[in-house]
Amino acid sequence: MVGHDCGHRTFSDSVGLCDLFGHICHAPLLVPFHGWRISHRKHHEHHNHVEDDHTWRPTSKTLFDNSTGLGKLMRFSHLLLVIFPAYLLTDSPLTSGNHFNPWSRLFAPEERLGAFLSAAAVASWLAFLFVTFPVRLLLDAYFAPYIFFVVWLDLVTYLHHTDVGVNYYRGSAWSFLKGGLSTIDRSYGWIVDHLHHDIGTHMVHHLFFTRVPHYSLVEATEALKPLLGDHYKFDDTPVLQAYLRAKNNCHFVDDQGEVLQYHAEGESVVDSNKKAQ
């Protein structure tokens, strides 16, 4: 969460300090800080836009129908819970671009030096690990816990942005406000909420991602609830049940229309524009 705030520049008023601690926090997670920061910023700027979002972007029906068996297996089976490293490394219609490659389509020319430095930080950290520790120890004490980290990260972010009742937008129907209001707050139980710094409180983060640090999200949410009214989305469905519901029913959105919702494979496509905006 500290690294996350560094990416949004809410950790400190100093960009240099945000970059320093952003790299310190991200390199041990094997995530290039500037690559993630740039794609994550674009995610926030275009949240729930069908074509322009950069994280858990809805798959169109045509793209879904044309996906290979391996592509569908990675995105729509339980393997989606370990997809984060592939998201960082690959360049496909379902990803933002390779986060490690400074010449990836993800980066503007002026961003390439920062992307290179962040990739070099991760490579240097890995080199330090393998030079310093036995491989078996790393597998047991570092990479096994890393898999749990990836699963938890994918689960939480997937449930923030994927649900049968959430709207997704195209064209003039999209706005920053409607996109920000299309994420879902959840509680994972007070102990887990405390341990992962209330990351389940997510809607206000999308509305004010450059202003509100993680330790103020709960307070800001309580202050805004009376103003948001029915626009505030909180789902108290048990986490496992919510995950299975989304995995089994959120496969694609229609190729046409501006206000859309997810459909399951084999489900007849209805006019999503008739759904509530």
Rounded to two decimals, the pTM is 0.89
pLDDT tens sequence for the chain (277 residues): 999 999 999 999 999 999 999 999 999 999 999 999 999 999 999 999 998 888 888 888 998 988 888 888 888 899 999 989 989 998 876 677 899 999 999 999 999 999 999 999 999 999 999 999 999 999 999 999 999 999 999 999 999 999 998 999 999 999 999 999 998 999 998 899 999 898 889 999 999 998 899 999 999 999 999 999 989 999 999 999 999 999 999 999 999 999 999 999 877 555 444 444 4
The pLDDT of residue 269: 55
Tally of domains within the chain: 1
The pLDDT of residue 93: 64
The pLDDT of residue 101: 94
Using CA atoms, how far apart are residues 137 and 143, in angstroms rounded to an integer?
A: 9
Best CA proximity match to 96, nearest among 21, 140, 37: 37
Q: Which domain holds residue 137?
A: 2-274
- The torsion angle over the Cα atoms of residues 246, 251, 253 and 254, rounded to 10 degrees, is -140
Best CA proximity match to 157, nearest among 189, 196, 194, 124: 196
The pLDDT of residue 273: 44
